[in-house]
Structure 1
Amino acid sequence: MNGIRRQRIAILISGRGTNMTALAAACMDPTYPGQIVGVIANHADAPGLETAERSGLTAIAVEQSAFADRAKHEAAVLKALDDLKPDVVCLAGYMRILSEGFVRHYTGRLINIHPSLLPLFPGLDTHRRALATGMRVHGCTVHFVTDRMDEGPIIAQAAIAIEPGDTAETLAERLLRAEHRLYPHALRLVLDGTVRMVSGRAIVKGSRAPAAPGDDDPPYILVSPEARRG
């Protein structure tokens, strides 16, 4: 990276961590602007922890059942994260709703991948819902995390066609391949400063639009689902 510091990435998972694996593969490229400093799971038996260890990554279990309540568990996760000193935190199938305080602690540095073309189908069971409503396309979204579930500013999206005969399972399998391409791309946009969150909006560097009030950086424009960068 010609002496440029690679930013520190921490990843939160709950299960297999396939998107974690895609991010780890991207970070193996020495020109990628980030490196993974740790993977944290809320279940000690999450298969993704073993995958992370095999890849030489620091793998940490903060077992939620070991804590009396959600707040105590979240405080322990936050402590483990802070010890890693991440520049960006990636949620990769982390199946816990984060508190407003947690999100605020990492405002603008906390991102998530969701298996739908947000704002369509926030929450769970997105593939079945897309099929049930007669959609002809489906997709995934990487977005900044805010205190409103799946409503954070959009960084990037990818779409796939829904094929005749698709089931929720076949659609999920095909979309997962798109997720594995999209997440490293979207993370790079955040790491290199191409996209960032300002005043609750995702903005992309390089436009002639006025900068946000008090922003001394070069001008930015709003990023929308219709104005994605490849």
Structure 2
Amino acid sequence: MSAFKIAVMASGSGSNFQKLAEAARDGRIPAAIELLVCDKPSAKVVERAESLGIDTFAFNPKDYPSREAYEQEILNKLLELGIDLIVMAGYMRLITPVLVEPYYGKLINIHPSLLPSFPGLHAARQALAAGVKVTGVTVHYVDGGMDTGPIIAQRAVEVLGDDTEDTLYARIQAEEHVLLPDTVRLIAEGKVLLEDRKVTIHNS
């Protein structure tokens, strides 16, 4: 049986990418991280991939006439490698049907809130501004909208009275580092079923 192949899309420091790569390397995820896709060639996540020996496609969106143009190049690479799952881990761009349609149900994202609350940027800041007592982390399928796809898994994070955006986000990120590898493991093991917008997990 061929290995379950994963591509990760990221734009920043890549701490979630690192956790995924380590989990795959250590056998905690029955899969191989085959490719990093990054829209910022100078991002730290590119250094992480290189140090881990993972191939990288780093590109500058301004070099392409449209979003669809560079996504077509990404899609070609994914198909060439036989990628089974795309994980968006801090990829800071909305994606178009060029990627969503061929990979729907095989394309996930991690977001630092309990969706549908606080989609988009600065989720921890949004949570503090709203005065909520609990926020958290969500892993969801991508449907092309702004954090609107079917929810796979969530973990809660308490909001403390003296939290700043940085302290709250640090605790959220710690939960991301647990939830994302665990969810990817379940998907790789074939235990996650998507029917319409309902996700069922068979964790046995």
Structure 1: 4+ residue segments shifted above 3 A: none
In angstroms, what is the RMSD of aligned CA positions?
A: 1.7
CA contact (8 A) 1:108 1:198 kept: no
Letter in 2 for 1:162: V
Identify the residue that residue 103 of structure 1 maps to in structure 2: 100
1:64 aligns to 2:61 (yes or no): yes
Unaligned residue ranges in structure 2 (runs of 5+):
none
Change in 2 beyond 3 A, CA 1:124/1:31: closer
Q: Displacement, 1:28? A: 1.5
Is the CA contact (8 Å cut-off) linking 1:108 and 1:196 kept in structure 2? no
**TM-score normalised by length of structure 1:** 0.83
1:163 and 2:151 equivalent?
no
Larger relative contact order (Cα-Cα within 8 Å, sequence gap ≥ 6) = 2
Specify the alignment match of 1:122 in structure 2: 119
Shift of 1:196: 2.5
2:179 match: 182
Structure of larger gyration radius: 1
Unaligned runs of 5+ in 1: 206-228
Provide the residue aligned with 1:46 in structure 2.
43
SS of equivalent residue, structure 1 residue 78: helix
1:77: which partner in 2? 74
SS at match of 1:10: strand
Q: Is the 8 A contact 2:94 2:144 kept in 1?
A: no
Change (3 A) 1:31 1:139: closer
Match of 1:33 in 2: 30
SS in 1 for 2:12: coil
CA distance in 2 between partners of 1:6 and 1:129 (Å): 40
State, as a whole percentage, how many aligned pairs show the same letter.
39
When normalised by structure 2's length, the TM-score is 0.94
Higher helix share: 2
CA apart distance, 1:31: 5.0
**Map of 2:89 onto structure 1:** 92
Aligned counterpart for 1:141 among listed residues 126, 138, 141:
138
Give deviations 1:120-142, integer Å, cap 9, x for gaps: 11111111111111111110000
Number of matched pairs: 204
Matched residues in 1 for 2:126 and 2:132: separation?
A: 9
**Per-residue CA distance 1:197-228 (angstroms, 9 max, x = gap):** 223332233xxxxxxxxxxxxxxxxxxxxxxx
Which whole-Å deviations, capped at 9, do the CAs of 1:17-36 have from their partners, x for residues lacking one? 11101101111223521110
Checking the alignment, whether the CA contact within 8 Å between 1:33 and 1:188 is kept in structure 2 is yes
